[in-house]
Amino acid sequence: MSFDYDLFVIGAGSGGLAASKRAASYGAKVAIAEGDLVGGTCVIRGCVPKKLMVYASRFSHLYRDAVGYGWEKVEPKFEWQKLVEVVNKEVHRLSEIHIKNLEKAGVELMRGKASFVDPHTLEIDGRKITADKILIAVGGHPIKPPEIEGIEASVTSRDMFHLTEFPKRLAVLGGGYIGVEFAGIMNGLGSEVTQIIRRDSILNGFDDDIRRNIQDGMSEKGIKFATGSVVDKIEKTAEELKVKISGDTNETIAVDAILCATGRAPNLAGLNLENAGVEVNKGAIAVTPDSNTSQPHIYAVGDCTDRLNLTPVAIGEGRAFADTVFGHLPRAISYRGVPTAVFSDPEAATVGCTEAEACQKLGDDVKIYRAKFRPMFHSLTGASDKVMVKLVVDQTTDRVLGVHMVGKDAAEIIQGMAIAVNMGATKKDFDATIGIHPSTAEEFVTLQ
* Residues catalogued as catalytic: 437
Three-state secondary structure along the chain?
A: CCCCEEEEEECCCHHHHHHHHHHHHCCCCEEEEECCCCCHHHHHHCHHHHHHHHHHHHHHHHHHHHHCCCCCCCCCCCCHHHHHHHHHHHHHHHHHHHHHHHHHHCCEEEECCEEEEECCEEEECCEEEEEEEEEECCCEEECCCCCCECHHHCECHHHHCCCCCCCCEEEEECCCHHHHHHHHHHHHHCCEEEEECCCCCCCCCCCHHHHHHHHHHHHHCCCEEECCEEEEEEEECCCCEEEEEEECCCEEEEECEEEECCCEEECCCCCCHHHCCCCEECCEECCCCCCECCCCCEEECHHHHCCCCCHHHHHHHHHHHHHHHCCCCCCCCCCCCCCEEECCCCCEEEEECCHHHHHHHHHHHEEEEEEEECCHHHHCCCCCCCEEEEEEEECCCCEEEEEEEECCCHHHHHHHHHHHHHCCCEHHHHHCCCCCCCCCHHHHHCCC
